[in-house]
Structures are given as C-alpha cells and as structure tokens.
Structure 1
Amino acid sequence: MLNIAGEGAAFRRDLFYETAMSMAVHPAIAEKDFWVCVLLDFLFNHCKWGKNFAFKGGTSLSKAFGLINRFSEDIDLVLDWQVLGYTRDEPLHERSITQQALLCQEANLRTAQFLADELAPALRLELPLHVAVPFEIIPWKEDILIRYPKAFSLNAIQPEVRLEIGPMASWLPNASEKIYPYAAEHFPGAFKKTFTVIRTISAERTFWEKATILHQEAHRNSKKQVPPRYSRHYYDLYRMTQSSVAKRALERLDLLEKVVAFKQRFYRSPWASYETARPGSFCLLPSEYHREELQVDYRKMQAMLFGDIPTFEAIERGLADFEKRINAL
C-alpha cells in the first residue's frame, strides 16, 4: 500500500477513479477507503502503541470480514487502558454507580490527554516518514481527525479519517485479520503489498454488540430522539444475520452475556433494559414511534451503501425472523 501512497497525485487519482467505476460507487469512496487502510497499517504496524490497539466496530465488519457493503469513514479502536495508567484489572473492580461513573469520566479525560499530548504529536512526527503526503492531524476530545489531500469531492464524504479511540471496550475475543483497500482488490498488480494485518475484535462479539444496541433502541422512550446515523446498526446486523456469523454467534451465548455485563458496568442506562437482552425477551425491532425516524435516517445514508442494498422494510422483516430465532433458544 505504501508504494501507492508514495506515487504522484495523478496516479492515485486515476487508480481511485478506475476502482470506483469497477464498484459503481463515487471515486471519493475508493479514495477514502485507501487512506483508511493506510492509516490502519501505520497504527498497528509502525506506531509504538500498535500492540495496545484493537480494531472494532462497523468498519471492521466491512474491511476485515466482508460482512457488510457499507462504507464507514471512522476507525474505531480499543485502547488498552494500561496505557492510561490503570492496572490490568483495575477498571473491572466492583464500584458503586457513582464511583463507576467517575471512573468512566476520568478515563475519558485521560484518553483525551493521551491523544492530544502523545499520539497526535507522534502521528505528526512519524506518519510523514512512512507516507509521503501532507496530513493534517487534529485532536478532538476522545478522537483524532486526520485530513488527507483529496482528489475527489462528495458532500457525504469528508476528506478526513476520524480515529475514535477509547479504553472502555473489551479486547476479547480477537484475532489477526487481513485488510485490503478496494483499490488493491480491483487492481492488485499496482500494489507491492495488497493488504495489511490488523488485530481485530471477532465478528461474533461485534454481532452481539450490535444486537444489544438494537435491544436498547427498542426500549428508547418516545421522547428521546434516536442519535444520527443509528440506522447503520440495523443494516449491519441484518447483513450479519444473512451470513454464517449469525449461526456462530447463536452458539456463543456466553459472548452475549459478557457484552451485556460490560455494558451494564461501563454504559449503564436506566431505560436500555439490558437485563432482558437474553433469549426469550430479546428485542431487535424499533419501537413504532421511532420507526419513521430510522427510515428517514436510512435514506440519508444510501450514499454510503453499495452492492445489493436492502430496503428498510426488508431489514425489519429479516430482523423480525432472527428475533424469533434468538427467543426460541
């Protein structure tokens, strides 16, 4: 990948354009996907904290497992909380609700300080040594924005990659997975190396992470607005239910229990009803008063989808069927 990053801007522009034409997507998507993969390669294989990261979330479902045809512009990383000064088990100690909330607030502050004072300066210093293009590195709370020189413009695609990095997520289970840019999949001959290897949270764990988000949303109060872009979780889980990952996830109810326990500890919500996120009472469908809101949100994200794009109604039908499968266990 790095040989492509070192090529001239005109060469990259032509490569991204031809890749996009092969995929029937906008060239800005192929372009940004390439920089996402380059940054993943740098963070895990050329950065001093590479062993302290794990790749997770929707982008991992697309890039590591090929389970969804959704372009995600964020890199979601777990940060080993030992980097922030905690011992291996310290955040897992029993605490009162108030003490737990204070721990999470403190961890967020430590994360923001680590990103601003250590990781961002290291990126500014070391990234140009590996990738000969001008990046702009901007710490923003618990994120880092990395702006790259764009060749294509699309309203839905900002020429920046957001690193969402946080310690309050589980590392297990994980494995090393190969990540290929779209450009390398379509034009492998242009690359000296077509892939990078990244420590990635298992698809089965992410399945239950997504499923418990939908369960939470099913219990959202009618007066509480659904966060923007949340329809992506419905699309992602639907696509996973159509794959072999669903069967493997159903065989790992221990993972579901661990996901629920982690969320009850670190993401406590009085209305999420995590205690009912189990076979017999699991909910995947949105409540009727938020359904239209999610439909509108799904229409807005169409530019980020490619391939066979299901309607929101098809997603609901598929999730309804899978909800029955979970609750029949």
Structure 2
Amino acid sequence: MHCLWGLQQLDYKFELKGGTSLSKGYGLIDRFSEDIDILIHPETDLQYGPNHNKPAQVKARLEFFNGLAEAIKIPGIIEVVRDEEFDDTRHYRGAGIRLKYESVNPLPEGLKAGILLEVGFDQVAPNRPCTISSWAYELAVESGIADLTDTRAVDVPCYEPGYTFVEKLQTISTKFRKQQADGDMPVNFMRHYYDVYCLLADASVKEFIGTDAYKDHKAKRFRKADEPDLTRNEAFLLSDAETRKAYADAYAKSRALYYREPALFDDILARISRRLPEL
C-alpha cells in the first residue's frame, strides 16, 4: 500500500495485476503479496509489442527499467535496486525492482526481504479502479491515531479477477509440467492453488467461467505443451499419491504467506476438482 501510494505521489501512472490486486484491491485472497505485478506507463513512446524485438527496442526497455530504479524515491524506502533475478533477459518486457526498508523484526520463514516490483507490459485490461489499503492502516484509523497520513493508493486500476483466474490456471499447469520434468519445486508455487480456490468463490469469476471471453483468454494464455482439458491435466488431478503428498507438504511450508488460516490443501483440490469440467 505505502509503496503504491509513493508511486502515485511521484505521478506515475500504473495498473496492477496478480496477488496484490486480488488481496489489497478486491479482497478475494487472504495472503501477503510477495511481489507487486505492475505496469508502469512510460512517459516516452516506448515500444513493447510482441514484434518489437529489435536490439534498439530491447535496449530502450532495459534503460526504462534501470531509469525507474534510479528515479523511485519513497519515504521509508532506504534503497531501490534492480533485482535481475526477475528480468526477462531475452526481450526485456519485464524486470525486477526491489524496494528495501529497515525491518523492525526478523522476517518469517518463507517471506522475501524487501518489496519486489515485477514491472512488465503484460495484459492488464479489462480492469476496475480499486483503493489499495492495508490492515495496519485500517487498524490505525480505528484506533483514532492523531495526525495519521493517509497513504492509501486510490483508484488504482486492477486487472479483472476472471482474467487473473485463467492466468492462474495456466501458471499451475506450466509450473507443474516443469516441476515434474526437473524435480525442482518452484518457490511458493502452491500459492497459485490457493488463489484459484479463493477465486472460485467469487461471483464475478463464476459468471466469467464458460463465456466466450473466458474461452478466448484461455486459448490465448495456455501453451502448446499444456493440456487445455483440465479434467485430463495432472496439475489439477494430482493422481500420483507421492506427488500429491509432496505438494501438500510444500503448501504447509508456505504458512507464513497467509494472514488468515488458509484452507486445507485437500479442500483446495476438492473445490477445484468439482469445477474442472467447466474450466
């Protein structure tokens, strides 16, 4: 919340997608956002379309990301650095910028240090304006703290949850396929199962499922190597007992991500399983 407010104070125009939009924007999930998926609009005519892959265009995007890291100044943030681990080093349509602050207490296990802005040019429309708040700010207001600065980010365009839902399905499918191939468990991969579970309870998402827009977006996002018929996609079935246990254990280890008691992994799979024929 505070960092998004800070970006607004700097007059950046931006839109959100991913976990931050779902938790802080729409209030649909009860977990901390490890990173902020954000599109920050360039002030210049920066080209980032799918065919803009000339070396000069790629270089211009890299310079844009580097320039953001140098320009962002937010009260309470002691250092802004580029986090190249999250860079799209081939075409630079996305890059990581980490906002560092002084921690009063040690970080819980499973949480990353600082605030990561995953800046990119992925689809962020359709969207709705949302006010991004936090439990800490709301508690401070309720407590009547004097001279409180309102650091909420107001009217932030947040990606429609139904479209995020489709992209979560694709992420689960792709990450599962890669995990089965190399044996490495992606960091906090299990949060996507939790997010899908929560989104399946949202009225707007349920209305979106099965529409032409849903089918078109799914066809656009799912990769050739991923099974589009989810009743046959092992990422959602987890038929192998050993794999299911490994995933349940990984989910249990991600407990620090949630600020309310999360659903049991078996309950998550059960809800998803019931809806697979429609998805």
Q: Could you state the TM-score of these two structures normalised by the residue count of structure 1?
A: 0.69
How far apart are residue 235 of structure 1 and its match?
0.5
- For 2:89, the equivalent position in structure 1 comes to none
Aligned AA for 1:246? V
Structure 1 residues 178 and 291: alpha-carbon distance in aligned structure 2, compared to 1, 3 A threshold: same
Corresponding residue of 1:28: none
The CA distance in 2 between the partners of 1:108 and 1:294, in whole Å, is 38
Distance (Å, rounded) in 2 between the aligned partners of 1:107 and 1:229: 33
Candidates 144, 149, 152, aligned match of 1:195: 152
Quote the offset at 1:228 in angstroms.
Answer: 2.0
User: SS in structure 2 opposite 1:67?
Assistant: coil
Task: Decide whether aligned partners of structure 1 residues 181 and 239 sit closer, same or farther in structure 2, where only a CA change above 3 A counts.
Answer: same
Alignment of 1:164 with 2:112, yes or no, is no
Residue 179 of structure 1 is matched in structure 2 by: 132
Q: Secondary structure at the match of 1:120?
A: helix
Counterpart pick for 1:153 among 106, 110, 125? 106
Q: What CA deviation, in whole Å up to 9, does each residue of 1:169-205 have, x standing for no partner? A: 1121012101111112223133343632212111111
The question of whether the paired residues in 1 share the 8 Å contact of 2:96 and 2:116 is answered with yes
Give the counterpart of 1:206 among 164, 168, 188: 164
Which of 178, 182, 193 is the aligned partner of 1:234? 193
Q: Report % sequence identity.
A: 23
Q: CA deviation at 1:54?
A: 1.3
Q: C-alpha displacement at 1:251, in angstroms?
A: 5.4
The aligned length equals 260
Which residue of 26, 38, 43 maps to 2:2?
A: 38
Residue type of the alignment partner of 2:268: I
Q: Provide the C-alpha distance between the structure 1 equivalents of 2:77 and 2:176, rounded to a whole number of angstroms.
A: 44
Distance 1:104 1:140 in 2: 24
Alignment CA distance shift 1:201-1:74 (3 Å) = same
Change (3 A) 1:193 1:221: closer
Residue 285 (structure 1) aligned to one of 236, 240, 247: 236
Give me the whole-angstrom Cα distance separating, in 1, the residues matched to 2:166 and 2:17.
Answer: 13
Name the CA shift for 1:71/1:134 in 2 (closer, same or farther; >3 Å): closer
Q: Is the 8 A contact 2:38 2:118 kept in 1?
A: yes
8 A contact 1:74–1:161 mirrored in 2? yes
The alpha-carbon distance between structure 1 residues 221 and 55, as it changes in their structure 2 partners (threshold 3 A), is: closer
Q: Residue 112 and residue 243 in structure 1: after superposition, are their counterparts in 2 closer, same or farther (change >3 A)?
A: same
Deviation of the 1:113 alpha carbon: 2.8
Q: Distance in 1 between matches of 2:174 and 2:196?
A: 14
The AA in structure 2 aligned to 1:285 is F
The alignment yields a C-alpha RMSD, in angstroms, of: 3.0
SS of residue matched to 1:285: helix
Contact 1:138-1:146 at 8 Å conserved across structures: yes
